[in-house]
């Protein structure tokens, strides 16, 4: 009599194993431990062999019968069901290992060490938050241009065309990596280079001297928490990028030399950067040390002091101070560059302080070695200039050898 699902479900474990037969070699092996295992009896080369078809109830009765039919048919044509099953499982495992998701994360793991922490997190967010939900389950060779285009269009329609372009670039890099490891032969993103129009670049706006004066004077009253006020002052006077400043650690400050040594992994161009500290900035950092000197981070977050200040803190505060749509934290660099150029400081010195590394490595090395003294003079002049503005005094004189 054939087994029923009800009979299989109600079968109780005994002191010894026993079986409940179905038909054509299929039976349920009930173990003393309570496990119930489907077995299929079949013959190969005149010898009886057993094939395990799975555990009940994970494998139900109807599925067990389908497996039995496959086993019997495979043996009848001379195949080895056990060997073919192992090959099928190996193929499934290989397919899983070569899915877009697994290769994308593998690529990220190998590249992240060459990127800034911010960029590595940005790329990972693109992989896990955009690509994997869209087509990460597919084998790397099965992702199509239509898959990538749909994802790009979805991102563009929610108002993030720049992200859509980045995603296409990252998909292309993932396929270059897959091709280099012989796991892909085509890049589905290649035909889509102009599928999304890049929005016009909005360069950071530079403040006029009058605007810089007004902003500087408003920081003590409207700049929020003192830690945020110090952050804005330091950003204004050092020409650092916001990310480089807010991720600063106390171990990077060399007090005796009045220098901030930013490691390469925090720099956009992956080169270490030395920032000479004007007297005013040293005083600000000494005050800051009273707030955060017992930790590793110079500018810790308000909610979690183990994490750096949020990347939105400065811009949020500037908006509340009345600069919405007019100025952002990145604009401090543009302001310094513009006004320093106007006052005759050498362009190469300004560019080096902005950490705009030239393409020529020899020239980059020269800049790093020989511009430090000039950059120290320039940043001290810049900080004195800001103070003079707030006091409505004339700008301090530029050293003669620096003027154009």
Pick the CATH number of 209-402 from 3.50.50.60, 1.10.443.10, 3.40.1000.10, 3.40.640.10: 1.10.443.10
Tell me the three state secondary structure of residue 54.
strand
CATH class of 100-192: mainly alpha
What pLDDT is recorded for position 364?
A: 45
CA distance 74 to 164: 49
Average pLDDT, stretch 212-236? Answer: 95
pLDDT in tens, 237-266: 999 999 899 999 999 999 999 999 999 888
5-83: CATH architecture = 2-Layer Sandwich (3.30)
What pLDDT is recorded for position 175?
A: 96
Average pLDDT, stretch 307-319? Answer: 92
**Domain ranges in the chain?**
5-83, 100-192, 209-402
Distance of CA 28 to the CA centre of its chain: 50
Nearest Cα residue to 214 out of 335, 114, 374: 335
Nearest Cα residue to 280 out of 236, 241, 314, 331: 236
User: Which residues, 6 or more positions from 126, have their beta carbon under 8 angstroms from its beta carbon?
Assistant: 163, 166, 167, 170
pLDDT in tens, 111-121: 998 887 878 98
User: Which residues, 6 or more positions from 292, have their beta carbon under 8 angstroms from its beta carbon?
Assistant: 227, 250, 298, 299, 300, 305
pLDDT in tens, 145-189: 999 999 999 999 888 888 999 999 999 999 999 999 999 999 999
CA distance 212 to 56: 75
pLDDT in tens, 351-371: 999 988 654 444 444 444 458
Angle at 223 between CA 219 and CA 226, to 5 degrees: 100
CA distance 262 to 251: 10
Phi, psi angles (nearest 5°) of residue 94: -60, -40
Question: Looking at the annotation, which residues are catalytic?
Answer: 241, 268, 330, 333, 356, 366
């Amino acid at each position: 009599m054939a087994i029923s699902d009800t009979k299989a479900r109600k079968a109780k474990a005994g002191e010894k194993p026993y079986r409940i037969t179905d038909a054509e070699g299929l039976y349920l092996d009930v173990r003393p431990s309570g496990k119930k295992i489907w077995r299929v009896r079949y013959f190969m080369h005149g010898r009886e062999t057993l094939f395990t078809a799975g555990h009940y109830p994970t494998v139900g009765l109807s599925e067990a019968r389908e497996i039995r039919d496959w086993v019997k048919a495979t043996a009848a044509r001379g195949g080895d069901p056990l060997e073919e099953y192992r090959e099928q499982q190996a193929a499934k495992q290989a397919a899983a290992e070569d899915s877009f998701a697994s290769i994308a994360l593998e690529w990220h793991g190998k590249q992240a060490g060459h990127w800034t922490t911010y960029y590595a997190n940005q790329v990972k967010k693109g992989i896990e938050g955009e690509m994997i939900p869209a087509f990460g389950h597919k084998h790397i060779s099965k992702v199509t241009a239509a898959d990538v285009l749909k994802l790009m269009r979805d991102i563009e329609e929610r108002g993030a065309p720049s992200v859509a372009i980045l995603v296409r670039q990252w998909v292309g890099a993932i396929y270059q990596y897959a091709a280099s490891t012989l796991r892909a032969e085509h890049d589905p993103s290649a035909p889509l280079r102009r599928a999304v129009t890049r929005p016009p670049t909005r360069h950071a706006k530079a403040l006029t001297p009058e605007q810089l004066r007004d902003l500087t004077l408003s920081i003590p009253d409207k700049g929020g928490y003192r830690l945020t006020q110090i952050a804005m002052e330091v950003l204004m006077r050092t020409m650092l990028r916001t990310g480089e400043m807010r991720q600063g650690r106390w171990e990077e400050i060399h007090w005796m030399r009045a220098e901030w040594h930013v490691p390469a992994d925090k720099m956009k161009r992956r080169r270490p950067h030395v920032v000479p500290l004007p007297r005013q900035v040293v005083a600000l950092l000494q005050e800051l040390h009273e707030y955060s000197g017992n930790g590793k981070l110079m500018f810790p977050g308000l909610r979690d002091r183990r994490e750096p200040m949020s990347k939105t803190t400065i811009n949020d505060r500037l908006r509340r101070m009345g600069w919405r749509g007019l100025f952002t934290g990145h604009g401090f660099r543009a302001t310094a560059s513009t006004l320093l150029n106007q006052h005759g400081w050498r362009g190469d010195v300004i560019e080096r302080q902005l950490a705009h590394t030239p393409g020529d490595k020899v020239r980059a090395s020269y800049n790093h070695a020989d511009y430090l003294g000039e950059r120290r003079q320039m940043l001290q002049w810049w900080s004195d200039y800001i103070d003079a503005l707030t006091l409505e005094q004339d700008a301090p004189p530029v050293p003669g050898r620096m003027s154009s």
